[in-house]
Amino acid sequence: MNKRKNNGYKKSGNKPRNKPNRSEKPYGKHSQGSRGDSKSKGKRNAPDKRKRGGGKAVTAEVTCSGLTAEGKGIAQWEGKELEVPHLLPGEKAEVLVSKQGPYVNAEVKRVVTPAKERVEPPCPYYYQCGGCQLQHMTNNAQDRFKQRTIDKLMKPFGKPQPILTMDHPYDYRNKSHTTFGLNQNRQVIGGLYAQNSHEIIPMDRCLIHDPKADEIVNTIKDYLKNSKMQPYNEDTGQGFLRHVLIKVGKVSGEIMVVLVTASSEFKGKNNFVKALRKAHPEITTLLMNVNNKKTSMVLGDQEKVLFGKGTITDTLGGMEFEISAKSFYQINPVQTEKLYGKAIEMAELKGNETVIDAYCGIGTIGLIASQKAGNVIGVELNKDAVRDAIRNSKRNGVKNARFYQGDAGEFMVNMASKGEKADVVIMDPPRSGSDEAFLSSVVKLKPKRVVYVSCNPETQARDLKYLVKNGYQVDGIQPVDMFPQTYHVESVVKLVRKD
């Protein structure tokens, strides 16, 4: 996709009109407790002595007129459109505004007239962390926001169904990733990065993580505090433990812990492994992943199993799936059941179709669909995921599925050039969406139906435009809330050939 020019394709995501907050300070003290509090009204628009993100901050009173696709409040200030995190439509608020080169930063200082949709975020780290963006809204307001987002993006293609929401929209993430470091007092801390920054926000509990994963991380943190094992320092390149990745099989109860370390020499390994297993006998496998590069990528190339089989197994859609450390597996299994159910319903399989499962990961969608199809062809870039998919096929006794490693676009071009046939294409690309090589080959292969699953409806809408221009029409749009408390929304779209 990167090779293409002037084709309407662009990198995913919104270009922020404000520079993203590097290290947003909590305003918990006055977010809820000070509703309607007018203590500092006399200071409206007065220059604030605090410096924000390098620029001098001024306080301004603004009124929020709507929300961006990332859930930030939109407000006008001095002829500019501000994007203010944690501000809700209709609210009047004092905001701190600072300029930094071409960017304008804005953050809420005090909400003057809170909206009825505003709630106290249950997470104490919410205003610092940035991992969630919507916790200050009621669940209903979050649902409406996501519905509006999808309705707007999908307007050219049809009316989406009501979003499939989650009954308990917390504790859902089966994968957690914690970064370790030292604070200014050289004490060990572990937590998530602040939004758009490498500043670690120390935390003991993330309300959307599986609680067991956080318990394990806290044990590792305590171990570090009481041992010679040092967290890694990104600036100096010194230290050992960079991150801990945990994957939990929500149905199986199996747990994988991956220690991401800066070197392959693990001093005190036996003591560590013994202590961790004693504290958490529920851990079924422990791996060490060596990442000695100066990179923001979490996982490195070298992987070593310290105990267990090196993978976990979980159940989804009535089948068992083996999952490696580096393979993609949907992070919210409760909602994934609904998502896959819709995707397979949209595929309208009668039993004799050739189905392509493109961007197939560990083969989940394709293998579940194989029970209703003639045969399934899966393609995926990640080698570990393809190995998992092949193993998963055998584990479930599936005889009509084949999996290939490679770029989905190239694979489809190859299929199209050989004149091969496909009745249904199910595609589930990463956030950046698909590419023209892939989409143009779909058009050549002429499947009767395309089912497009996406975690980024913005790139999905771009790709739908291509398919609609080239012989397809949209025949169903189903949003699914896979990521409660965040602005992200998943969407599955059914396309059928016009002829």
- Numbered residues of the known binding site for S-adenosyl-L-methionine: 330, 359, 380, 428
Among 129, 259, 325, 360, contact with ligand SAM (rule: CB under 6 A): 360
Closest CA to 182 of 247, 235, 140: 235
DSSP per-residue letters across 134-172: -TTB-HHHHHHHHHHHHHHHHTTT-PPPPPB--SS-SS-
Binding-site residues from annotation: 330, 359, 380, 428
DSSP per-residue letters across 410-475: HHHHHHHHTT---SEEEE---TT---HHHHHHHHHH--SEEEEEES-HHHHHHHHHHHHHTTEEEE
Among 306, 349, 408, 467, contact with ligand SAM (rule: CB under 6 A): 408
Closest CA to 135 of 18, 32, 46: 32
Q: How near is the Cβ of 38 to ligand SAM at its closest, in Å?
A: 48
d(CA 70, CA 487): 5
d(CA 119, CA 141): 10
The secondary element (H helix, E strand) that includes residue 402 is strand 401-405
Between 328 and 403, name the residue whose CB sits nearer to ligand SAM. 328
Q: How near is the Cβ of 70 to ligand SAM at its closest, in Å?
A: 19
Check residue 359 for interaction with ligand SAM (CB under 6 A): yes
Q: In the β-sheet with 472-480, what is the strand arrangement from edge to edge?
A: 401-405, 375-380, 354-358, 424-427, 449-454, 490-497, 472-480
**Known catalytic residue at 206:** no
Check residue 361 for interaction with ligand SAM (CB under 6 A): yes
Between 182 and 381, name the residue whose CB sits nearer to ligand SAM. 381
Check residue 330 for interaction with ligand SAM (CB under 6 A): yes
Among 96, 206, 208, 365, contact with ligand SAM (rule: CB under 6 A): 365
Q: How near is the Cβ of 429 to ligand SAM at its closest, in Å?
A: 6
For ligand SAM, how many residues bind (rule: CB under 6 A)?
19
Check residue 385 for interaction with ligand SAM (CB under 6 A): yes
Q: Are 299 and 291 in contact (CB under 8 A)?
A: yes
Q: How near is the Cβ of 340 to ligand SAM at its closest, in Å?
A: 7
Could you say which residues in the range 197-236 bind ligand SAM, by CB under 6 A? none
DSSP per-residue letters across 234-257: TTT---SEEEEEEEE-TTT--EEE
Q: How near is the Cβ of 43 to ligand SAM at its closest, in Å?
A: 47
Could you say which residues in the range 411-450 bind ligand SAM, by CB under 6 A? 428-430
Give catalytic residues, as residue numbers.
Answer: 455
Q: Where along the sequence are the contacts to ligand SAM (CB under 6 A)?
A: 328-330, 359-361, 364-365, 379-382, 385, 407-408, 428-430, 455
